Chains A and B, each alone.
Chain A
Amino acid sequence: MDPAEPGKNAAIAEPVLAPGHSFGSVTDKISAIVLTRGTGKKWMGGFAVAIALLLMLNFAITVLFARGVGIWGINIPVGWGFAIVNFVWWIGIGHAGTLISAFLLLMRQQWRSSVNRFAEAMTIFAVACAGMFPLLHMGRPWLFYWMFPYPDTMTLWPQFRSPLVWDVFAVSTYATVSVLFWFVGLIPDLATLRDRATTKVKQVVYGILSMGWRGSAKHWKRYETASLLLAGLATPLVVSVHTVVSFDFTVAIEPGWHSTIFPPYFVAGAIYSGFAMVLCLAIPLRKYYGLEDFVTLRHLDTMAKIMLATGLIVAYSYLMETFMAFYSGNPFDRFMIMNRMFGPYALAYWILIAANLVIPQLLWFSKVRRNMLSLFLVSLSVQTGMWLERFVIIITSLQRDFVPSSWGMYYPTRWDWMTFLGSIGLFFTLFYLFIRFLPMISIHEMRELVHKKEEEQAA
């Protein structure tokens, strides 16, 4: 406790913006990364790795389209393999970006200003990766438009009572709203880049994208109203998306899926893995681009605490799931949980428990939260854990359900792995392009933050 300011601990006293910054200095520093810094060697190296993984994805998808989903390890009974595991994992990662940009805006959390832009970019790229998997998983992906309601010659309509159709609407709405939110946030910053462009080409491109934004007071008024409205719309949306994803499971009667705890449990898990991804991106970014003034220890500490809190909700859900399996007296549920813990996929379950529940408890210690390396490793562990969670939920429930005669095993093939690792390549390719060509921190919100700090000091 700081004796001068009772009720404020050291973490709160730490600034969300290092002192000494002006409107000009934040603008120059962030726009210089895009405009004058140039393409660094480390950027090229990272981009090359990402592109290599992306090429591998292209190869895996080409073979998939040529030969069909039989090249994957899926079978009957395990019809949902890596594709659905990856889908749920990626869409969950996206949720933290929306939460930071929308929910924290409504809550007037000032610290969000310097992390929301790249968190939103993360959301869009994660949703792009997620959206790819159900399409690949369709036996005939070129007929994907059958999922949408359109007046076709057969007078058929989608079955709107099916959670899988709900999912189509939830994910496509989520993708659209995330892109809108991101673009609206970018408009004033694109204008800044246009006004500070070093070459004619940049000036024209950023000029077209910024649509002639000139910072008029009337425009700002509508702009801020629109941001607030979008935040209000995106907050319930983000909760609904993972709820609908969990309906894909929980509306079915499979043991281990058919449970009312799924919607909140999935939403908490999504935020958990999303914040882990934000930290995994923020820690190297702030170091490499020298953004320690903007993304301070306060940010990382706060995000680590959110991760810990959502992690505890996830832990509670695991506990309740296990408890209910026995308490319900349902022999299939009881068998399912025993099969998870001691069946053929027990290793995945116990690594999940270690990575998702045990290791993140280190975040109780401020030393772990404030050490970049340890925080990065814990975040990585959470992401591994969350991927395994979806693997365990999907595979173990399908693999042994009610009748032993319909049991089977699932073994991912190299095509499964190549598609999974390739989607990480797709994500990072998009992300590398983003940090090279667009401001990764919202410049106008940073100027506003400087203004607010000045007002606070004057008051």
Chain B
Amino acid sequence: MASIARNQLYGLMAEFGTPDDLLKAAQAAREEGYRKFDAYSPFGIEGLAEAVGFPKTRLPVLVFIGGLIGCSGGFFMQWWANVVGYPLTIGGKPYDSWPSFIPITFELTILCAALTTVIGMITLNGLPLPYHPAFNVQRFALASRDRFFLLIEAADAKFDLSETRDFLESLRPEEVSEVEA
């Protein structure tokens, strides 16, 4: 493969055959001092996110806030509509008969929390993303089948084309390829 000019290089990609090899490679890259790298796999692998330096996601907090908004907003909407906006006596109950507002409060809590979960997951992941350099490597199509990839970015402070290539080769990958930006 012809070498890519330095400014057009996104990084170096190593291909592995098993999830264990990828996990070990990611841990080794972290120990070696690399910070800007990512691992790609056809399914979620336990411990891989920690190995690439992503131990925790903010998603649960956002979902909790979303649920809270749905809960309080839902209750307030009903309370305002049936107590202030359009009070109507039904079955001799007081206007503020809050127990009958609970089912809708519950449903709206779930609705807002679920919408936050999905929209949050997609946007935090930076999707939809029409272009990513990783797809320039032809064999990367197998990342959604049965192959496992480690990509060290050229933007990493420790990145050096030949040294990083040597490091990746030392992990015994099936192939190391340069990724065009």
Contact = CB atoms under 8 A, between A and B. Distances in A.
Interface of A: 22-24, 27-28, 149, 155-163, 165-166, 169-170, 173, 176-177, 180-181, 183-184, 188, 191-192, 194-196, 208, 211-226, 229-230, 233-234, 236-237, 240, 244, 247, 444-445, 447-448, 451
A288 to B, nearest CB: 25
Contacts of B42: 23, 27, 188, 192, 215, 444, 447
B33 interface: no
A229 B61 CA distance: 11
A230 B114 contact: yes
A129 to B, nearest CB: 20
A157 B86 contact: yes
B46 to A, nearest CB: 9
Nearest to B88: A159
A286 B57 CA distance: 38
B26 A217 contact: yes
Contacts of B49: 217-218, 220-221
B120 A226 contact: yes
Given A160-B104, A451-B19, 16 more contacts: A160-B78, A176-B111, A176-B115, A177-B114, A191-B144, A212-B127, A213-B127, A214-B134, A214-B143, A220-B44, A220-B48, A226-B59, A229-B59, A233-B113, A444-B42, A444-B43
Contacts of B43: 23, 188, 215, 220, 444-445, 447-448, 451
Complex A-B, nearest 6 residue pairs according to Cβ-Cβ distance, in ascending order = A157-B81, A23-B146, A221-B49, A212-B129, A211-B128, A220-B44
Interface in B103-158: 103-104, 106-108, 110-111, 113-115, 117-118, 120-122, 124-125, 127-132, 134-135, 140-146
A194 B100 CA distance: 48
Contacts of A221: 44, 48-49, 54, 57
B111 A173 contact: yes
Contacts of A247: 103
B48 A24 contact: no
Contact of B130 (A177, A212, A240): A212
Contacts, number: 196
Interface in B4-50: 19, 26, 38-45, 48-49
Contact of A160 (B54, B101, B135, B144): B101
Interface of B: 19, 26, 38-45, 48-49, 51-52, 54, 57, 59-60, 63, 77-78, 81-82, 85-86, 88, 90-91, 93, 97, 100-101, 103-104, 106-108, 110-111, 113-115, 117-118, 120-122, 124-125, 127-132, 134-135, 140-146
B45 A220 contact: yes
Given A218-B49, A220-B48, A161 B93 contact: yes
Given A192-B144, A214-B134, A222 B103 contact: no
A454 B111 CA distance: 38
A233 B117 contact: yes
B129 A240 contact: no
Contact of B118 (A149, A184, A219, A224): A184
Given A160-B81, A169-B104, A215 B130 contact: no
B47 to A, nearest CB: 9
Given A157-B82, A217-B40, A229-B63, A188 B114 contact: no
A159 B83 CA distance: 11
Contact of B59 (A165, A208, A225, A233): A225
Contacts of A229: 59-60, 63, 113, 117
B108 A155 contact: no
Nearest to B70: A173
29 contacts: A28-B145, A156-B86, A159-B90, A161-B97, A161-B101, A166-B107, A176-B114, A177-B114, A180-B118, A188-B144, A192-B42, A192-B145, A196-B141, A196-B144, A211-B122, A211-B129, A214-B40, A215-B143, A219-B125, A221-B54, A221-B57, A225-B57, A226-B59, A226-B117, A229-B59, A229-B63, A240-B107, A445-B43, A451-B45
